[in-house]
Amino acid sequence: MPDSPLLELRGVNKSFGPVHVLHDIDLKVYPGQVTALVGDNGAGKSTLVKCIAGIYPVDSGEFFFDGKPVSFSGPRDAAGLGIEIVYQDLALADNLDIVQNLFLGREIRKFGMLDEATMERKARETLASLAVRTVKSVRQSVSSLSGGQRQTVAIAKAVLWNSRVVFLDEPTAALGVAQTRQVLDLVRRLADNGLGVVLISHNMNDVKEVSDHVAALFLGRLAADVETKDVTTGQIVELITSGRSGSMGLSAAATNASM
Amino acid sequence: MSSPDLGQPTPGAPAAQVAPAASPGVALAASDFANDVGARNAREAFGNYIQRLRGGDMGALPAVGGLIVLVIVFASISGGFLSKGNFANLLTQAAPIMLLGMGLVFILLLGEIDLSAGTASGVSAAIMGLALTQGGDLNQALGTPVYVIVLLGMLAAALVAGFYRIWIAVGVIVLGALVMLTSWDQYAIPGIFVAISVGVAIGTLVGTMVAKIGIPSFVVTLALFLGWQGVLLQFLGNGSAIDVRRNDFIFNLENSNFSPAVGWAIWAVSIAAYLGLTFGRSFRRRRAGLTAEPLLVVALRGFTLAAITGVAVYVLNENRGRTVFTKIEGIPKIIPVVLVLLVFFTFILTRTAFGRHLYAVGGNAEAARRAGIDVVRIRVAAFIISGAMTAIAGIALASRLGSIPSDFGGRNTLLFAVAAAVIGGTSLFGGKGKMRDAVIGGLVIAIIPNGLGLIKDIPSSYELMITAGVLLLAASVDALSRKRTSAR
Ligand SMILES: Nc1ncnc2c1ncn2[C@@H]1O[C@H](COP(=O)(O)OP(=O)(O)OP(=O)(O)O)[C@@H](O)[C@H]1O
Ligand SMILES: [Mg+2]
């Protein structure tokens, strides 16, 4: 284990009405490390991210950032701590252009007015750093972009700020081979720069390649949080599909309880 | 930099942080956005424009096209249509529609609708009218119970606006209520302020019902469309219209003109400011290496605008009196009012964070929420601005009519204003629209009753049917262009 975790979750619970989606989740995000958050469809991965984003209020549980207790009651809280999120259902406004989307909610102002020049320059720098080749202009409206390009804009939005933790919810799901490569490289680069990165993915090759830890969710419970090098792809798949693999994972009682 | 009160990390040098020297990304920086400096010459700019049209972004084209067609049609049917007098008439007829439409653009940008804007303008105007005509004694004019209810309503609105930290609205409402308590509102300026404060209060309450309580705006405002008509009847008491002709200031807004010299001065200052701003912007962006419009395009647009408005000012400055004894010349006073508001709200929409957030909420409310924007607050604020414009439109309409009758702002007033915004290019689906849409569209809409009125033996039923047809046509263009842009 490296230094202390940047972000720590303890005993997080979340229900939507009668549906108990997250059960006592404990999760640690370390600086400079990629944590892969895996789990089947509906396991609760996106819900967990949205709880941290302050989009869904949690029922119970504690959050610590840099060891200090924090709470996430609105989207600004996470951003204020330097936590950025790339959502699975991309949070982009179609009617705005790329620059406007990148700075949405955090516009740079000069004399109370929007400082378009600075924003446009920074947007271009960021996109260039992400090796975005296909976007014709940073003033293009987002509605005119392809799925992959939109994904890149969403990621750029997260890395534009000096963030310390970045959550990426299936960032490569809509991407072609080359762009997936770029995103994975970027994920690694972010971690190498000392950020805590949480990558949600269904692709085990990606997980094995890029992550340091694997946290497996099974029906809303954290089945295991292990170092990637200690597990095989087969074991990860087992954790995802049945919540346990050999000595790892949930006890039989717990898996039955959540069935 | 980003607002410090939110304690957010400032955008640092992302490139340096994300991409260490070894990264392949950096090398791409120069070539990546090679064609990102906008159109380099006028031909490219024109090509881009055509591409945008093809993509379904029609801008002001349908409105301008419609304007030209209608002018040709009416000019060929009726000789009086192109007269100097009728041109001035057309502008004064269009002004209230434009003003109401400008407020509605804010609502339409949200993807909402306000069916009550017309009759709400009657309520605001009536309070002003009563104050003006009854020596500023609203207690007497409304009767104590109604007066108290109005004041309590304003108090409630001020509290709600305070809850959303929209302090300007709080200030306007409180100050307006205080002026109501005095007799100063017998004078035009305080009276206008009272009307605006009532409009702001109405907007606050409507906005809260829509944005906070979550009643569909269609339902809230359909109810209020009727409700405000009832309130107006209540205000009028015995049913006679309020006569505002005795107040020179109010009456002159729509019925008197600036002298030709002042007219030219206004024109020269406006054009100089426009050219200065647009050229300055193009130069500055070019120097900063950003996307900038080619100077030729900027120059052409500026020249066209100067020429069209110059001709308009010239025609308006001609004597249009019907007899040798009357001399009527100059720009109607309401026109510069419309222009100032147009510039002001264009600035709000395009140069402020509020404007940006408004577009974002209209385009994708969830994205806006996740970006930390207080969506409810933005929505309420939009209704508040619209409420203020509703009152201003009501004042203009009262000035034109010379009175506030019991059906003030009812009938087709609202339809006209919505049609103006939509014809101008504002989308009914939210997220797309400009302030100028209401002005250009307002002209198109005003031409229809104006032109038909000049044709002999034409039944008034035509006016309603044709206007409805034009609105449906504009809405179809909107819907089709939306389909086109969303078909990726
Ligand atoms: N807003 C909501 N209201 C009610 N139930 C919800 C809501 N959002 C998610 N759920 C439920 O919570 C559970 C977890 O959903 P979530 O989106 O977190 O899954 P996921 O792990 O991200 O799946 P996927 O891999 O498909 O993205 C699902 O059963 C889903 O039906
Ligand atoms: Mg998900």
Q: Which single residue is written with the structure tokens 């034009």?
A: B470
Following DSSP, what letter does each residue of B53-91 receive, concatenated? Answer: HHTT--TTHHHHHHHHHHHHHHHHH-GGGGSHHHHHHHH
Q: Domain for residue B282, yes or no?
A: no
Using 50, 70 and 90 to split pLDDT, how confident is the model at B3?
Answer: very low
Closest residue in B to A55 (Cα–Cα) = B370
Residue B23 has pLDDT above 50, yes or no: no
B252-286 pLDDT tens trace:
888 888 999 999 999 999 999 999 999 998 888 88
Give the model's pLDDT for residue B324: 78
pLDDT one-digit tens code per residue, A212-249: 999 998 988 888 888 888 888 888 888 888 877 777 76
Give the Å distance between the CA of A89 and the centre of ligand 2. Answer: 8
pLDDT band at B191 (very low <50, low <70, confident <90, very high): very high
CA distance linking residue A238 with residue A232, whole number of Å: 10
Which one, of A214, A188, A193, lies nearest residue A203 by Cα? A214
pLDDT higher than 90, residue A124: no
Q: What's the CATH code of the domain at B247?
A: 1.10.3470
Nearest to A125 among B15, B351, B356 (CB): B15
Percent of chain A exceeding pLDDT 90 equals 22
CB-neighbour burial class of residue B91 (10 A; exposed 0-12, middle 13-18, buried 19+) = buried
DSSP state letter for B439: H
For chain A, helix, strand, coil in percent to 5 are 35, 30, 35
- Residue B304 exposed, middle or buried by CB count within 10 Å (0-12, 13-18, 19+): exposed
Specify if B273 maps to a domain. no
Are B132 and B250 contacting, i.e. CB atoms less than 8 angstroms apart? yes
CB contact at 8 A, B185 and B179? yes
Which of A193-197, B383-387, B410-414 has the highest average model confidence (pLDDT)? Answer: B383-387
Those residues with Cβ within 8 angstroms of residue B51's Cβ, 6 or more apart along the chain or in another chain: none
B364: nearest CA partner in chain A: A93
Q: Which residues 174-233 in chain A show a CB within 8 A of chain B?
A: 186, 189-190, 192-193
- Rounded to the nearest integer, the mean pLDDT of chain B is 86
Which residues lie across from B32 on neighbouring strands? Answer: none
Mean predicted lDDT score pLDDT of chain A: 85
Helices (H), B256-294: 260-287
Please count the other Cβ atoms lying within 10 Å of the Cβ belonging to residue B4. 8
The three-state secondary structure class of A200 is: strand
List Cβ<8 Å contacts ≥24 apart for B233-239.
B233/B406, B234/B146, B235/B123, B235/B126, B235/B127, B235/B130, B235/B142, B235/B146, B236/B126, B236/B404, B236/B406, B237/B143, B239/B406
What would the mean pLDDT of B345-373 be, rounded to a whole number?
94
Q: Is the pLDDT of residue B340 over 80?
A: yes
Contact between B488 and A146 using a beta-carbon 8 Å cutoff: yes
Tell whether B95 is covered by a domain: yes
- % of chain B at pLDDT higher than 70: 89
pLDDT of B205 over the 50 cut: yes
pLDDT category at B479 given cuts 50, 70, 90 is confident
Contact call for residues A239 and A216 (beta carbons, < 8 A): yes
- Between B287 and B198, name the one with better pLDDT: B198
- Chain B hits for A53, CB-CB cut-off 8 Å, are 370
The predicted-structure confidence for A146-201, as pLDDT tens digits, reads as follows 877 888 888 888 888 878 899 998 888 877 787 788 888 888 888 888 889 999 99
Q: For position B391, what pLDDT does the model report?
A: 97
Is residue A120 scored above 70 in pLDDT?
yes
Nearest to B223 by CA among B82, B124, B116, B349: B116
How far apart are the CA of B372 and the nearest CA of chain A, in angstroms?
A: 5
**Residue B368 at interface with chain A, using a CB cutoff of 8 Å:** yes
Asked if A122 lies within 8 A of B26 by C-beta distance, the reply is no
Residue of B285, B367, B432 lying closest to A117 (CB–CB): B285
pLDDT value for A253: 56
Distance CA A192, CA A201 (A): 19
Per-residue pLDDT, B223: 96
CB-based contacts of A30, cutoff 8 Å, min separation 6: A1, A2, A3, A5, A6, A196, A212, A213
Contacts of B398 (CB under 8 A, 6+ apart): B125, B128, B129, B244, B250, B404, B408
* CATH superfamily, region A7-82+164-258: P-loop containing nucleotide triphosphate hydrolases (3.40.50.300)
Q: Kindly give, in sequence order, each residue whose CB lies less than 8 Å from that of residue B46, ignoring residues fewer than 6 positions away.
A: none
- What is the ipTM metric for this complex? 0.86
**Share above pLDDT 70 across residues of chain A, in percent, rounded to a whole number:** 93
In this complex, do B15 and A126 lie within 8 Å of one another by their Cβ atoms?
A: yes
The residue type found at B307 is A
Average pLDDT over residues A65-76: 87
Mapped onto helix, strand or coil, the DSSP state of residue A244 is strand
List, in order, residues 6 or more apart from B82 with CB less than 8 Å away: B75
Domain ranges of chain A: 7-82+164-258
The parent domain of residue B145 ranges over: 61-256+332-478
Rounded distance between C-alpha atoms, residue A212 and residue B487, angstroms: 41
For residue B148, how many other CB atoms are within 10 A of its CB? 12
CA of residue B356 to ligand 2 center, whole Å: 29
pLDDT band at B421 (very low <50, low <70, confident <90, very high): very high
| DSSP secondary structure of B358-404 | HHHHHH-HHHHHHTT--HHHHHHHHHHHHHHHHHHHHHHHHHHHSEE
Do B9 and A163 lie within an 8 Å CB cutoff? yes
Q: What's the pTM value of the predicted model, to 2 decimals?
A: 0.88
For chain A positions 82-141, those within 8 Å of chain B (CB to CB) are 82, 85, 87, 90-96, 100-101, 104-109, 112-114, 116-117, 120-122, 124-133, 135-139
B281, two tokens: 């912007």
Total number of residues shown for chain B: 488
Nearest residue in B to A182, CA atom: B25
Task: List the beta bridge partners of residue A215.
Answer: A37, A225
- Amino acid B53: pLDDT: 72
The answer to whether residue B484 is domain-embedded is no
Report how far residue A166's alpha carbon sits from residue B422's, in angstroms, rounded to the nearest whole number.
42
Residues 6+ apart with CB under 8 A from B50: none
Closest C-alpha to B250, from B161, B347, B337, B367: B337
Ligand 1, atom 12, residue with closest C-alpha: A21
DSSP A88: S
Q: Which of the pair, B97 or B3, is modelled with greater confidence? A: B97
> How many CB atoms are closer than 10 A to CB B150?
20
Task: Say how far apart CA A48 and CA A21 lie, in whole Å.
Answer: 9
Domain annotation covers residue B416: yes
Q: Rounded to whole angstroms, how far apart are CA atoms B121 and B392?
A: 8
Nearest ligand atom owner, CA of A48: 1
Contact partners, residue B179, CB within 8 Å, separation at least 6: B185, B190, B193, B194, B197
Q: Is B93 within a domain?
A: yes
Would the CB of A220 count as within 6 Å of ligand 1? no
Indicate the range of A59-63, B30-34, B211-215 predicted with least confidence.
B30-34
Chain B contact for A76 (CB, 8 A cutoff): yes
Binding site membership of A57 for ligand 1 (Cβ less than 6 Å): no
pLDDT level of residue B41 (50, 70, 90 thresholds): low
d(CA A242, CA B352): 52
CA dist A160 and B216 (Å) reads 37
pLDDT band for B39, please (50, 70, 90 cuts): low
Total domain count, chain B = 1
- Kindly state the percentage of chain B with pLDDT values over 90: 56
Distance, CA of A181 to CA of A186 (rounded, Å): 8
Q: What is the pLDDT of residues B147-174, one digit of tens each?
A: 999 999 999 999 999 999 999 999 999 9
- How much is the pLDDT for B485? 65
Cβ atoms < 10 Å from Cβ of B171: 14
pLDDT of residue A255: 57
Rg (CA), chain B: 24
With a CB-CB cutoff of 8 Å, which residues 289-318 of chain B face chain A?
289-291
